[in-house]
Amino acid sequence: MAERATKQTGDGGILYVVATPIGNPDDISARAIRTLAEVSLIACEDTRRTGQLLARHQIATPTISHFDHNEDRRVPDLVARLKAGEKIALVTDAGTPAISDPGFRLVRAALDADLRVIAVPGPSAVIAALSIAGIPTDRFTFEGFIPSRDTARQKALDGLRREPRTMVFYEASRRLADTLSAMVSAFGESRDSAVISEITKTYDRTARGTLGDLQRRVRATPALGEHVIVVAGASQASNAETVALDADEALKVLREAGLGLKQASTVLARLTGKGRREVYQQALKSSGEEDPQD
């Protein structure tokens, strides 16, 4: 029989990490409803939004705000209440707590205090988007929200240029077009991708195509709401090409810094892990120079 949450008891508190709907309110699980009804307190990102969900399911459990800007002062109090034996549920506005939402610090503090932390799983925009994107899901990386400033955003995406796994991002409407443009710059126009907007909500919509296609589409018709961007990983062929181009560029920089071809080849060999002779021969080929030993 599944363990049921109970009101405050003397046998040690439990923190329940409860996933809530990401759009459609009917996506909440029966276990989540039961847990929220039976705990002594619900720590939530926005008491008003959670209050609407609780009212829909006729749940009268008290709530307390717990969000990014009050988490530092709220965590000690919540941990103290858990130590006193309370059963507390942690929720966010939508989806699974601590996944690009508040919650990690409370979970970590509860674990550090040797308290029980139990997941009540449910909706997650990451998994929901992956399941319908039509892009490989055997391996993926979740990048969440990337930096909003142009330079920092481009740097973050450039660092993912060779990532072979499918990548998942969150983005807001006002930045979607600029982010897709930055992705085109970093990954190229032809990378397979999808933008899932307002997932599970009334105007749920999925756009699929290359990054270039999606960029042009969003520029022409701005999207509204919240979005998940799914981008295919780099192919082995494109990675090999990028590595070769990077090696040529590195050789050029080293030569401009005053190193001879042999010295530059030695440095490149140490950086790439390849044999010095192999790198030297490739450097000769790339530079068009003659081997002085011939």
What's the mean pLDDT when you consider all of the chain?
A: 88
Answer left, alpha or beta for residue 247, where phi above 0 means left and psi between -120 and 50 means alpha.
Answer: alpha
Task: Give DSSP secondary structure letters for the chain.
Answer: ------SS-SS--EEEEE-B-SS-GGG--HHHHHHHHHSSEEEES-HHHHHHHHHHTT----EEE--TTTHHHHHHHHHHHHHTT-EEEEE-SSBSTTSSSTTHHHHHHHHHTT-EEEEE----HHHHHHHHH-S--SSEEEEEEPPSSHHHHHHHHHTTTT--SEEEEEEEHHHHHHHHHHHHHHH-TT-EEEEEESTTSTT-EEEEEEHHHHHHHHHHS---SEEEEEEPPPPHHHHHHHHHHHHHHHHHHHHHTT--HHHHHHHHHHHHT--HHHHHHHHHHHHTPPPTT-
When pLDDT is cut at 50, 70 and 90, the band that residue 272 belongs to is: low
Distance (Å, whole) CA 253 – CA 287 = 12
Q: So what's the pLDDT on residue 243?
A: 53
pLDDT (tens digit per residue) in 172-213: 999 999 999 999 999 999 999 999 999 999 999 999 999 999
Region 203-232: mean pLDDT is 94
Q: How many CB atoms lie within 10 A of CB 289?
A: 11
Q: Count CA atoms within 13 Å of residue 93 on its CB side.
A: 9
pTM of the model: 0.76
pLDDT (tens digit per residue) in 24-62: 999 999 999 999 999 999 999 999 999 999 999 999 999
Q: So what's the pLDDT on residue 276?
A: 73
Closest by CA position to 126, among listed 171, 93, 157: 171
Closest by CA position to 88, among listed 31, 15, 36, 6: 15
Angle at 223 between CA 219 and CA 227, to 5 degrees: 115
Closest by CA position to 133, among listed 198, 188, 68, 209: 209
pLDDT (tens digit per residue) in 127-164: 999 999 999 999 999 999 999 999 999 999 999 999 99
